């Protein structure tokens, strides 16, 4: 259940921190798109889960969030198949409309093309988590950001670092993504297999932060935040009986206080 982390290049190493052990609200409009490749099949119409995250309006990262959300919206995951965020969303490059925005690299924020897209993968992660679907591959960021729930996030970096999950139900799962100028919502439609209960520990293993100075146009000022560890448990039930219990363990690095000059 727990996988070892391997650092592959700057971006991959920046996002990875500690292996995880596998294991909001929004108005829900009934999806009406036909299932791709199956024109006669009705799209899934039963809500499985929903999750919303929020962000500051007007920031460059909002552009990247919207681009990924549009690509993801309406995607169908057939029964017994595995969804890959990187395969579906594709590369985050300027030629596809992505812009530079703050992104996590190690214990710092720097401006990088496609920055902020992890808000989409993390919102999807939490919808999948709540739906009781089989989370196959996910890694936390090295730093905790207040936009995301502690210990429940999925960092992505094309093409190495991916978020994958399996539709282990007997019906298709449809991903619906909606957004406003300050929020992003993922709804999943299909047939639930499990009921879900979850619990999050208190923070522990605190580590102090340092101060530093950054230079250059890629520098992003930071206020500083101590590091900590946290555990999340997800328990799946079927017919009132426990099927399995999964633990997601995360260690967040301290975030330095950075002044840009």
Residue 245: strand pairing partners: 235
- The pLDDT confidence band at residue 106, using thresholds 50, 70 and 90, is confident
The residue ranking higher by pLDDT, 33 or 87, is: 87
Rounded to whole angstroms, what are the CA distances from 112 to 144, 245, 250? 18, 37, 24
Quickly tell me which residue has 């709540």 as its tokens.
130
83 vs 106, higher pLDDT: 83
> Can you give the pLDDT at residue 185?
98
CA distance linking residue 126 with residue 7, whole number of Å: 25
The closest of 199, 221, 260, 230 to 17, measured between CA atoms, is 230
Which whole number is the average pLDDT over 182-203?
A: 97
Q: Higher pLDDT residue, 205 or 105?
A: 205
Pairwise CA distance, residues 49 & 101, whole Å: 29
| Range of lowest pLDDT (20-34, 55-69, 219-233) | 20-34
CB 4, CB 163: distance < 8 Å: no
Mean pLDDT of 225-236: 97
Task: State residue 28's pLDDT score.
Answer: 34
Task: Please check the confidence at residue 64 and state whether its pLDDT lies above 80.
Answer: yes
Cis link prior to 120 (omega < 30° from 0)?
no
Q: Which of 18-27, 37-46, 91-100, 117-126 is the least confident region?
A: 18-27
Q: What is the pLDDT of residue 41?
A: 58
Question: Hey, which of 82-86, 109-113, 221-225 has the most confident mean pLDDT?
Answer: 82-86
Q: From 148, 166, 173, 159, select the one nearest 72 (Cα to Cα).
A: 173
Query: If we measure between CA atoms, which residue out of 97, 34, 12, 24 comes closest to residue 55?
Result: 24
Sign of the CA dihedral running 53, 81, 236, 74: positive
Helix (H) or strand (E) holding 48: strand 47-54
pLDDT at 62: 96
> Per residue in 94-129, is it b (16+ CB within 10 Å) or e — as a string?
eeeebbbbbbbbebbbbbbbbbbbbbbbbbbbbbbb
Q: pLDDT at position 42, please?
A: 64
Average pLDDT, the chain: 85
Asked if the model's pLDDT at residue 245 lies above 60, the reply is yes
């Amino acid at each position: 259940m727990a996988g070892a982390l391997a650092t592959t290049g700057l971006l991959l190493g920046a996002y990875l921190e500690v292996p995880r052990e596998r294991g909001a609200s929004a108005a829900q409009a009934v999806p009406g798109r036909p299932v791709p490749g199956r024109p006669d099949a009705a799209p899934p119409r039963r809500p499985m889960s929903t999750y919303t995250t929020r962000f500051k309006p007007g920031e460059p990262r909002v552009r990247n969030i919207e681009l990924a959300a549009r690509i993801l919206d309406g995607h169908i995951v057939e029964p017994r198949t595995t969804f890959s965020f990187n395969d579906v969303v594709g590369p985050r490059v300027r030629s596809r409309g992505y812009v530079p925005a703050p992104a996590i690299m190690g214990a710092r924020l720097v401006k990088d093309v496609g920055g902020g897209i992890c808000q989409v993968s993390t919102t999807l992660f939490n919808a999948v988590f709540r739906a009781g679907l089989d989370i196959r591959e996910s890694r936390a960021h090295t730093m905790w950001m207040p936009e995301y729930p502690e210990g429940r996030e999925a960092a992505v970096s094309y093409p190495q670092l991916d978020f994958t999950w399996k539709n282990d139900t007997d019906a298709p799962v449809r991903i619906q993504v909606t957004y406003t100028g300050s929020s992003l919502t993922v709804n999943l439609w299909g047939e639930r297999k499990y009921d879900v209960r979850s619990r999050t520990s208190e923070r522990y293993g605190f580590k102090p932060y340092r101060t530093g100075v950054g230079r250059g146009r890629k520098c992003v000022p930071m206020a500083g935040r101590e590091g900590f560890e946290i555990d999340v448990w997800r328990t799946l039930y079927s017919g009132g009986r426990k099927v399995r219990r999964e633990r997601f363990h995360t260690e967040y690095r301290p975030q330095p206080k950075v002044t840009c000059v």
